[in-house]
Structure 1
Amino acid sequence: MIFETRDGAELRAQLCRLREARVDGSVIRIDTLCGRLTLPTTYRLSRFVADPAYEPDHDHFDR
């Protein structure tokens, strides 16, 4: 996660800053966490990070 806010204007401003920094938009994920009645809605920006060294543990699939 690179940014989190409850303010939609702050979210848009952060997205503009990322564009100005030439961050590839295809690696940015925007989540809207809907709070419903008890919690306020939160916006979260994340960046996808590929880890080529990661190898999933396949042992648990063989059980």
Structure 2
Amino acid sequence: MPGQRKRREQQQAEQRRRAARTAPDAGHWELVLWTADRAELRTQVSRLGAAGVDPESLWIDAPCSRDASPPVYRLSRFVSDPGSGDTAAGSDG
């Protein structure tokens, strides 16, 4: 299929860039919100976006619950360590 190699190489390059940007030596993940309310999660993500936080620096985790309890959502943000060279992921605007 024409263009498939180029597309695949671009996707792989993007994955490598993302992995390097959030590598353990570049910073750490900071818990922003822990909630069972999905609307609260959406509101917090919207607030962070309005404040200029890069959406790629956010991580939403919803650990599965095996019993009948409602899902719990964790919102984390990647914060760059000072001197790591990448200040964009941890900046507020």
TM-score surpassing 0.5? yes
What is the percent sequence identity of the aligned residues?
48
TM-score (norm: length of structure 2):
0.50
Alignment of 1:48-59 (within 5 A): 48-51=78-81, 52=84
TM-score (norm: length of structure 1):
0.70
Deviates more, 1:16-25 or 1:37-46: 37-46
Q: Could you tell me which residue of structure 2 aligns to residue 17 of structure 1?
A: 47
- The answer to whether residue 57 in structure 2 is matched with residue 27 in structure 1 is yes
Q: Aligned match of 1:3 in 24, 33, 47? A: 33
Structure 1 residue ranges, 4+ long, deviating more than 3 angstroms after superposition: none
- The answer to whether residue 73 in structure 2 is matched with residue 43 in structure 1 is yes
The secondary structure found in structure 2 opposite 1:33 is coil
Over residues 23-54 of structure 1, what are the superposed CA-to-partner deviations in whole Å (9 max), with x where a residue is unaligned? 111111110112221543110011113433xx
Relative CO higher for 1 or 2, CA cutoff 8 Å, sep ≥ 6?
1
